[in-house]
Chain A
């Protein structure tokens, strides 16, 4: 072990604290805001001292948004459910399609394989607006506009390339001889994929799935254009808080806390996979 002087340790502690405060403060502030009324939030100068209230959460969960002048109905809990359906659905579909595809790209060099893989990746850097307009028209014609299936389909533009490329790097890291040894010991190609390749790539698959989930959850533009009110996820639903009579900061904050809670919990739970998966798979692959 390297020896560190007390001074170095103190400096390191200060630096770490600064970084943590910088990144965590917005979250702390949002949590604090969600426990205040609009009046206490907007007072100047802002203060950390206030009487906590759960009225924002109450309003959001009950769906009654009480403004200064009128009561507005919002379906934030419906939005939350939509987010869950869309994110889980699209990640599940992307895993189902992407993991076998990643395996194929990693293990078999066929004609045009690099081109196909790159085309899939290019979905990630194409601006969404590029495809949105034609997609809207096509979806309306074939009846996929404003359906979960249609949205999950479009969400593949986000999830599939991510999963494909991270998991591919993972499969490439597995020595092919491990699979060869299993195949020559009397097992089929598919058994090898299931019993050797999949378990060995599991951390990568978990990391990719998690990232894809977060990206899908955070998506705004596809849902804004392609979904009507009853299919909108939280990202779009939050717009409802900007009302004619003012911006409901307290309720927005409560909504944000509720909407980041699932991804935050998931990320904390699977932190280890995330770090491992990204550092091993994506960087090397």
Chain B
């Protein structure tokens, strides 16, 4: 299958000739399949918005190429790229009503008035904005304006839909409710979309695949499940997941026929070598210094196991977070039932080999996930 959108070796350098050039996007390769929703996820300044703006044509690529539906578009003006975009901020045309704003692009497509009305009404229903169609942008709340802007983008016919934090200003309940509808709308029509967000819940809910970016570099481009189960490096491991992954520095060694990870303050995690294939054991022992990661949901609290001291236990209404001092740092464990642990209480921490992520401390790259070589 040929990709709908293909970014190859794309770089973006701001102020290249100044004393402080900013390399915002570094050697980015990204291929989006037709009908796919891809999220660009990362914290602010990671290069996700620059990437989106290069695809839209508001920023020039410093080097590399972008092709959409078989056309090299990176030298085109935005008008010729055939993409639709929903903006994070205020972007409605102030002198037009919401209805006129949404219908605006269709006017130039020379559609019959009845069709335009039908399309606008359909989109308005999708986004719950039927009641504000005849109002002017200045009288709208941030969330209403954002939905109107989203409607204006989705109503168009384009090769690619660019959604820049499209729900950033909505109430949480409305956001959750609209996510499902928007995904259904896009999927039903087989549209291809790129979503920029810093909210991983939104990325998980909407996207087929997520491109995690940091420091201008694409860290990992994978399905939400793979990002969680097999993070490619320490960054994605700790960035994806809430609460974040527990991380421990460890020395790997072979002792008494066991594979032992020596943590700080004399805490040892010993595993039966059968849980790890030979090649993996070689790799881990070869590195010596590794970083262990374990998801809070996988940390088991038992009476036996490595000693830890509870310093906080919170019931969040649907899960309990237990935080404990462990191996010179702290460990967080999540339980889906109500678990009461007193502050200062001694607990045992057990981490099953299939829940263990091993990273190379020097490079940050993943070595293994749950006993499988990464």
Q: Which residues of chain B are within 8 angstroms of A186 by Cβ–Cβ distance? A: 79-80, 105, 108
Choose one: A177, A184, A188, A199; the contact of B81 (CB below 8 Å). A184
Answer whether residue B38 sits at the interface, using C-beta atoms and an 8 A cutoff: no
Q: Which residues of chain B are within 8 angstroms of A188 by Cβ–Cβ distance? A: 77, 79
Is the pair B90, A175 in contact by a Cβ cutoff of 8 Å?
yes
Answer whether residue A200 sits at the interface, using C-beta atoms and an 8 A cutoff: yes
- Please encode chain A, from 33 to 68, with 1 for each CB lying within 8 Å of some chain B CB and 0 for all others: 000000000000000000000000000000000000
Answer whether residue B152 sits at the interface, using C-beta atoms and an 8 A cutoff: yes
Answer whether residue A18 sits at the interface, using C-beta atoms and an 8 A cutoff: no
Is the pair B90, A183 in contact by a Cβ cutoff of 8 Å?
no
Contact (A178, B85) CB under 8 Å given A183-B79, A185-B108, A189-B77: no
B1-18 at interface with A (beta carbon < 8 Å): 17
A187-237 at interface with B (beta carbon < 8 Å): 187-189, 196, 199-200
Is the pair B56, A177 in contact by a Cβ cutoff of 8 Å?
no
Q: Which residues of chain A are within 8 angstroms of B87 by Cβ–Cβ distance? A: 177, 180-181
Q: Which residues of chain B are within 8 angstroms of A183 by Cβ–Cβ distance? A: 57-58, 77-79
Q: Which residues of chain B are within 8 angstroms of A175 by Cβ–Cβ distance? A: 89-91
Label chain A's interface by main secondary structure: helix
Q: How far is the CB of B124 from chain A (nearest CB, A)?
A: 18
Q: Enumerate the 6 nearest inter-chain pairs by beta-carbon distance, A residue then B residue, closest first.
A: A177-B91, A177-B87, A185-B105, A183-B78, A181-B91, A175-B90
Answer whether residue A273 sits at the interface, using C-beta atoms and an 8 A cutoff: no
Answer whether residue A139 sits at the interface, using C-beta atoms and an 8 A cutoff: no
- Please encode chain B, from 17 to 31, with 1 for each CB lying within 8 Å of some chain A CB and 0 for all others: 100000000000000
Residue of B nearest to A182 (CB): B93
Q: How far is the CB of A280 from chain B (nearest CB, A)?
A: 13
What residues make up the interface of B, taking CB atoms closer than 8 Å to A?
17, 56-58, 77-81, 83-85, 87-95, 104-105, 108, 149, 152, 156
Is the pair B149, A181 in contact by a Cβ cutoff of 8 Å?
yes
Q: How far is the CB of B24 from chain A (nearest CB, A)?
A: 15
Is the pair B58, A180 in contact by a Cβ cutoff of 8 Å?
yes
Choose one: B17, B56, B93, B108; the contact of A184 (CB below 8 Å). B56
What is the size, in residues, of chain A's interface with B at 8 Å between Cβ atoms? 17
Q: Which residues of chain A are within 8 angstroms of B156 by Cβ–Cβ distance? A: 185
Is the pair B91, A196 in contact by a Cβ cutoff of 8 Å?
no
Contact (A200, B56) CB under 8 Å given A175-B89, A181-B152: no
Is the pair B85, A184 in contact by a Cβ cutoff of 8 Å?
yes
Rounded to whole angstroms, the CA-CA distance of A111 and B123 in the bound complex is 44
Q: Which residues of chain A are within 8 angstroms of B88 by Cβ–Cβ distance? A: 177
Is the pair A178, B77 in contact by a Cβ cutoff of 8 Å?
no
Is the pair A177, B90 in contact by a Cβ cutoff of 8 Å?
yes
Q: Which residues of chain A are within 8 angstroms of B90 by Cβ–Cβ distance? A: 175, 177-178
A-B contact pairs, 16 of them (CB 8 A): A111-B17, A175-B89, A175-B90, A178-B92, A180-B87, A181-B152, A183-B57, A183-B58, A183-B78, A184-B57, A184-B78, A184-B79, A185-B79, A185-B84, A185-B104, A188-B79
Rounded to whole angstroms, the CA-CA distance of A177 and B92 in the bound complex is 8
Choose one: B17, B94, B105; the contact of A200 (CB below 8 Å). B94
Q: Which residues of chain A are within 8 angstroms of B89 by Cβ–Cβ distance? A: 175, 177
Is the pair A180, B85 in contact by a Cβ cutoff of 8 Å?
yes
Choose one: A180, A187, A199, A200; the contact of B91 (CB below 8 Å). A180
Is the pair B84, A178 in contact by a Cβ cutoff of 8 Å?
no
Rounded to whole angstroms, the CA-CA distance of A210 and B156 in the bound complex is 41
Rounded to whole angstroms, the CA-CA distance of A185 and B91 in the bound complex is 12
Q: Which residues of chain A are within 8 angstroms of B79 by Cβ–Cβ distance? A: 183-188
Q: Which residues of chain B are within 8 angstroms of A187 by Cβ–Cβ distance? A: 79
Given pairs A111-B17, A181-B92, A186-B79, 15 additional interface contacts (CB within 8 A): A175-B89, A177-B89, A177-B91, A178-B90, A180-B78, A181-B149, A183-B57, A183-B78, A184-B56, A184-B81, A185-B156, A187-B79, A188-B77, A199-B95, A200-B94
